[in-house]
Amino acid sequence: MNDRQPQRRPLCLRIFSLEGALAAFGLFSLGSGLWQGELMPAFWGVTILTGLLALLAVRRRDWKHHWETLENQRSAPPPPDPGPPDA
């Protein structure tokens, strides 16, 4: 792994994150709504899981753009030094 790639977190830290908690709650709501035959918990479960997928997609796209920008900055030549200011 090189220094430009983001480091992967261990599985336990990925599960016990905000995204993991949202996924667990969404799956629980969806499952309990389907199990009990109630519409609202199932609706909220689907809504939470859809929002989580959108969040992950946006976050992945933003990180990809960030690494591309960083790579472009590293490959570009440094700006010339303007020298001392004239007084």
For the entire predicted model, the pTM comes to 0.57
Which amino acid type is present at position 19?
Answer: E
- Position 4 in a domain: no
pLDDT at position 4 is 57
**How much of the chain exceeds pLDDT 70, in percent?**
78
Spatial contact of 42 and 30, defined as CB atoms under 8 Å apart: yes
Q: What is the dihedral of CA 46, 49, 55, 57, to 10 degrees?
A: -100
pLDDT at position 1 is 47
- Position 22 in a domain: yes
Kindly list the distances between the CA atom of residue 65 and the CA atoms of 19, 31, 72, in Å, as whole numbers in the listed order: 21, 36, 11
- Low pLDDT (below 50) residues in the chain: 1
How many domains does the chain divide into?
1
- Position 2 in a domain: no
- Position 85 in a domain: no
- Position 80 in a domain: no
Range of the domain at 37: 14-73
Mean pLDDT for the chain overall: 81
